[in-house]
Structure 1
């Protein structure tokens, strides 16, 4: 009689190369059990136990296990009970991450030893989901920037997807780029940056300067002031977010700028004329490509030069100007802080300078004011005495002069608090010489008289004697006496004596005396 069928045949402890089987012995008698392994490899086992470990199997292979009872010395075999299973597939090999972006990662692996029909990819993180594929690579999408993910990849085999042991790899997705990177403040030595945080997660920010491997700042805030920069230099700033203690960083957000150039040094005004001024300066520390000259006044205009000097023309005489000079750098002419210098142009020349009302101790002068502006006038009196006068009028009386003296008068316009002086216009004249003193007639004869006098105060170069009568005539002498001859006996004569001075014989006031030839005379 055949032994009965084993009961409750069960597979457990499935691994890549072994499985365990257990069963309940049949009703009746049995002395041992035959286990037939159908698959690759194919072999038989016998055991007296009610369980067995089947080893030496191939990972991921399909096996049918027939278990039957044996009895007697000839091993009479009962009817077999069958169960089938796959061994677990092996571990994938060389699991690798590549092409990590903000929302996806790519994975690749080598297939396991043995057989596998597909692969299970478990994404552990936020979001959490599973994927399956028949390929040995996959793109995992729909991830959150800057998130941490553990990715398990295991082999599957069979219709019921027997799963092998998973291989794990972890990574952060790339954090997102910072948003609205902006330069807020630029100085000569610093740049202040601000931005908004990226979408998703991140742990910190990294700020770098392109082509400067030694500069790197890690920070948590959304702003930074980068200092110790060179004036007028061009900088490209790279700002990225990082995740996982700087294990991975986002793509860079890039912004470029010039620092402001420095201030020009030793700004100087020279060669001031009525319509132009010249400027010079020392270039600033750092870099600059050109210079902006702002002329504030009337007219108001700008100039740009690459030189360290400039001639500013087309100005109005006697005008006040503030001149700002600043450095420029870069294609967009980033402007540094301006250095200022004020000045007046020289006032113009006075016109129509005229001398009038000349007396022994004073003269009067008048003129037409110059084109442009002037606030007052300087009158320089060159002679004896030598002194200066100033006036806001267009005329002046110069007093305290010496009779018969030669004077040069220079009249120039002044403007501004520091009295910037224009070019002088000159005019020269003598003061009138003084009156002769003690005019006396003596040695009167029928045809002549003699005259003597004391010279006037001040200077005189000669004397004019006018004989008024019959005959009437003039004499001149450098002496202080004269004999007047050729007169008519018994005639009445008025004799005027005046001092002369200078090449043009400036004439003083005359002193008069009258007499008759033949000895009658009368002083008038």
Structure 2
């Protein structure tokens, strides 16, 4: 597959562009070819590639470059230019072959012409000798004449039928001859009866006389020995006599020459060009030079210049010096070889004249990353100005080139603090520039980076450091000014205008130059605020960059703190010996997340909406800028409130006591103290818990227990809330037998005496046991109990 593609690829590469020129004055083929070779290249060839292009506009028949025999080649195989014939489109029946002519009889007119004689043909089977048959032959000792066989086929006749017809004509004597051929056993033989009679099996032709003659059969398409190819108007081919006069088609490979431009300056240029094909027939070269009147030098800049130059001249040499041109202008040149009074394909080129020089280049101003340039407009035209930027202070910085549309240009993306050389030239066609002009200057240094006060904390000293700026620098300048705490350090104008220490509005300013990246200034008051401004210097400290300000502080002192708690508030107050900016106060309690710190410039702070009976820790820090004093911490409890709804539930040996937290202490972590007391057993126990319930076990049955629940906060306690409960009794029966004696007979048996005794006994029991334990007293009649 690859071997098939290679020839196709090569042919597409080397094939030249062809142009076709129909010529209307008629000429013979040789005359046409001679004219085509003189004024073009050759009579045209026809290929599958060009046939559609050539025939689509034809209105008559044309000679083309193919001849039957050309330089002894095989017929119709090579074009007049030597190319092989790879494509054919012959009209049907063409080219006419050179073949032998058929002979047909030409007889004088009679009553019955030989071909119109009535012929009666009867077909009868005939038995012949096995494998034997006879055929009409002349007396010559050779095979039947091929022309005769063709003629019999044309007449649809057999030899016997022809013999019978020929008896009516005067003929020469023909001696019959019988030739035996081997055939199949069964052969059908046709016996055709004419006047005179013939016999079966063999035909004998007698000697007769005929006036008919044999001539070549007429052919409507005659063979032409010296034939040339005619391209018919509808695209097919046909041969014709080369001496015939017809229109013809010449072709020529499109001429692609070259024009060379050299020694171009602002007003002149040398031109030279390629010699055209068939130079001996080229009378001259016509040179046309046009200043482009539609040239738009840059779509961004929209600079358009009108045509002012247009020149045409004839030249027999292959070179010319062009003068009086305009600087920085586009010129279009065409050179036409004139051959046989006809322009060949022109050679084309466009070129720009060199732009004029830039004058009065000045660096107007610079920033840390840019420079503003200005120059005078040069004569002539230009597309833009090219500015070549080179860093003279640092060779590692890459050079760059920028385009500028006008005579004022801002160059950006420079590196701060370095000296740059700016080279400007006018440019056309992107790369063709005039004589450059140069100027140099420094960019301003960049700002110092990461300016910050030292983390070392001193009450009377300022330390600061920074990183070098990006780009170049030769040193630093800084100023330190003490200011009020409410003054911002955003403006360094005073420091910028100051190159030495000074005092303004009672503010002491210290300004110094240094090559170090850190400073230390001592002897400052504690808790004070300063504005520190630092800038980088370059060009031997003569050009300064932008000031970078930060506030700086001396370390403040800690406060003396006191607290005054209430049920749901704590009032904190403090004192301080020294200056300060503000205070940061914070309150927290376990286990909750500390509250967000609050800032104040006052010497007190009231913490509200607190929980009663809760332990709080309060911290106060003195702030001075980013410096913080050691914190002062103090803790205390808010005053406690009593719990609510205390209840006790008892079983035989257990009592569960529950209560609710004070409303002022909801969701807070507080401490409860629970005390129980039993009077009968004289027992008293205290328990402390943070829960709102407690259980007591292993208690005595049938006993009353009294409880008191209170909230404790440090050494403070709320009023107690009481609750009591009786354990279930473990009942036992105790029988008291009373012996009654009385001086009065039957007194003890009286109802009144018994009731009185029972009341006294019950009173005694109540005074002894009260409700502290479970007891019950009941009178039982002994006689009833005994059943008497």
Q: Name the TM tier (shorter chain).
A: 0.3 to 0.5
Select the structure that is richer in helix: 2
Select the structure that is richer in strand: 1
Structure number with larger C-alpha Rg: 2
Per the normalisation by structure 1, the TM-score is 0.40
Per the normalisation by structure 2, the TM-score is 0.29
